Chains A and B, each alone.
Chain A
Amino acid sequence: KAGVTQTPRYLIKTRGQQVTLSCSPISGHRSVSWYQQTPGQGLQFLFEYFSETQRNKGNFPGRFSGRQFSNSRSEMNVSTLELGDSALYLCASSLQGQGNTGELFFGEGSRLTVL
């Protein structure tokens, strides 16, 4: 069974640009969550999507947005990039969503560097 796939793995952007990251969950999983990982703050929750609906949203500015498609694939977008947005962005899928057991299956992440 293929795991969670995230693309791109690495990218470099400059301040003010925007970026779109993609996540394909494990086949059959309907929930996709996004986390931002930085050395100082650990893993911070961005949002969760379940069956194309945003179920939960973390404490991030409106520049961070996401969506989920009918095939459960998800994208997140960050507009007007700032230096502080440099981080590893992790996508995680689960069968029924975070309201269940809490078991998440993570991808390898997309490492974003903002110059």
Chain B
Amino acid sequence: DTEVTQTPKHLVMGMTNKKSLKCEQHMGHRAMYWYKQKAKKPPELMFVYSYEKLSINESVPSRFSPECPNSSLLNLHLHALQPEDSALYLCASSQDPSGGNTIYFGEGSWLTVV
């Protein structure tokens, strides 16, 4: 099973709301990633978790707060977002963060900030 599951598939939130995106994988992968993708653009890396510890933060604004409760779960907490944060948020995982492992992506969560 090479599946990364993301919920919700669609989310509409106001600029004062607090919401979370969730990601789950059961492949025993120890690296998990959050990417942001705007329309007609490639995915951009936001965060990397390696063995449940944050290893890369690509200078993402603090209104995005990642959390890795265990090796199978990855959350992205959202607070006080701006309309320009509307995008497809993709979660991904790989066996480990370094080396030549395949990276598997979920279907994404479509976020609209109103």
Query: Is A bound to B?
Result: no
